[in-house]
Amino acid sequence: NAFPYEKPADVFAEYVALDKALSPVPRDLDLSIFADADYVNLIPTQWPRNGQRFFADGRFYHPDGKARMIPVAAPALSRPRFALNTGRNRDQWHTMTRTGKSPRLGAHLAEPYVELHPADAAQLGAGPGALIDVQSLYGGALLRALITDRAAQGQLFAPMHWTRQRTRRGMINSLTAPVVDPVSGQPALKSGPVTAQVYPATWYGFLASRRKPDVHAPYTAIARTATGWQAELAGQDIPTDWQAEALRLSGLSDAEVSIQTDPASATTRVAMVQDGVIVALLFVAPHPVVVARSAVNDTIGTTASPLIALAGRHAADLPDPGATVCACFNVGRNTLLAAISGGAGTVAALGDATCAGTNCGSCKPELKALIADGSIAMAAE
């Protein structure tokens, strides 16, 4: 390991030492005042430490004390169908080099997506789970549609976290203009002109596997789970042998295979077993696959019968928790709605009933929205 520091305190100590060496040079951030501080027990501290506002004395960091105004010109925008905004989502950080290793965070929002307004989705003909092909002058990306009124009409939002390690065509950063601010170096990520259309997939798949899958479908997104890996798949060329394809995807050429096909619905489900243990499951359909993904993932590594595993849902005596809202405690939407129906009318009450929102708290806005939606529904009954 070439990284010379063993603890965060070592990094902080070197930063303090560098600031101390530069103390004669006026600047806005000077941590040399923490030279004798105990980093481990250092409490959050507002900067500047004396509580004064920066530049309140009217002087700036130039010899004459005056500010330097830098003329800037906003980039000229064309008027395409959509304006693209990129940024972060709640559970990931930058390119997933750390958060991407967390099974809970990885499986929560497990694929690259694009938020679009319901009116825009209707004009595009995009239903729930559709794939959207987003294009700019600089590149393209294939993203799962998240239809929500959080997005302004005419604008798209896509997180920038996914890289080639997790997706084949979900790298939204490849669409942004190669333009940066001449002073700060900040890239232009907030107003890129793009076009969008529904990707005409002929098949969709969901794979859960104990091994990291070897997937090369046109649409591919893989994520860590508590029991191994999962992959969302889609394409236009339908494989001729789904059993052989399932074994290839999962890298399990010697597994025992159970397969269910339904010609009427054109669906196929494949279970792979080694030594009596479920090691991979593949679900294929001509439309976005509808299975309880948490239930499917939980089946990997168990001795459940293939028939039960291929049901793709929780057992009758186990309620479906729904899509995960609180990643810290793996609390699903259905669990939260049941608690709201039972009288949990505040975020605190939901926390008491389900633990949701009681750790990092980043899901609290979603909890508030669920409570509001539940109140509206009950008022309408």
Q: Are residues 147 and 235 in the same domain?
A: no
- Let me know if residue 218 belongs to a domain: yes
Q: Are residues 61 and 110 in the same domain?
A: no
pLDDT at 191 over 80: no
Q: What is the pTM of this model?
A: 0.69
Q: Are residues 146 and 194 in the same domain?
A: yes
Domain carrying residue 279: 203-309
CB neighbour class for 193 (10 Å; exposed up to 12, middle 13-18, buried from 19)? middle
pLDDT tens for residues 57-94? Answer: 888 878 898 988 888 776 655 556 899 988 877 666 66
Q: Are residues 89 and 159 in the same domain?
A: yes
Instruction: Quote the longest CA-to-CA distance of the chain.
Output: 80
CATH number at residue 98: 2.40.40.20
Q: With bands split at pLDDT 50, 70 and 90, how would you rate the model's confidence at 155?
A: very high
Q: Are residues 167 and 208 in the same domain?
A: no
Contact of 242 with 312, CB cutoff 8 Å: no
pLDDT at 231 over 80: yes
Q: Are residues 124 and 167 in the same domain?
A: yes
Q: How many domains does the chain have?
A: 4
- Let me know if residue 50 belongs to a domain: yes
Q: Are residues 152 and 98 in the same domain?
A: yes
CATH number at residue 330: 1.10.10.1100
Q: Are residues 270 and 330 in the same domain?
A: no
- Let me know if residue 112 belongs to a domain: yes
Strand order across the 267-274 sheet: 219-225, 228-235, 203-209, 277-285, 267-274, 256-262
Q: Which residues contact 253 (CB under 8 A, 6 or more apart)?
A: 247
**331-332 and 324-326: which strand pairing?**
antiparallel
- Let me know if residue 146 belongs to a domain: yes
Q: With bands split at pLDDT 50, 70 and 90, how would you rate the model's confidence at 379?
A: very low
Q: With bands split at pLDDT 50, 70 and 90, how would you rate the model's confidence at 302?
A: very high
Q: Are residues 174 and 246 in the same domain?
A: no
Contact of 300 with 343, CB cutoff 8 Å: no
What integer pLDDT is reported at residue 77 of this predicted model? 52
Q: Are residues 99 and 155 in the same domain?
A: yes
Distance CA 31, CA 14 (A): 10
Contact of 219 with 199, CB cutoff 8 Å: yes
- Let me know if residue 87 belongs to a domain: yes
pLDDT tens for residues 242-287? Answer: 999 999 988 888 899 999 999 999 999 999 999 999 999 999 999 9
What integer pLDDT is reported at residue 125 of this predicted model? 95
- Let me know if residue 76 belongs to a domain: no
Distance CA 111, CA 257 (A): 27
Distance CA 215, CA 222 (A): 9
pLDDT tens for residues 164-186? Answer: 777 888 888 888 888 888 888 88
Contact of 148 with 184, CB cutoff 8 Å: no
Domain boundary among 198, 216, 240: 198
Domain boundary among 65, 99, 120: 65
Q: Are residues 155 and 124 in the same domain?
A: yes
- Let me know if residue 314 belongs to a domain: no
Domain boundary among 35, 65, 95: 65
Q: Are residues 126 and 183 in the same domain?
A: yes
- Let me know if residue 77 belongs to a domain: no
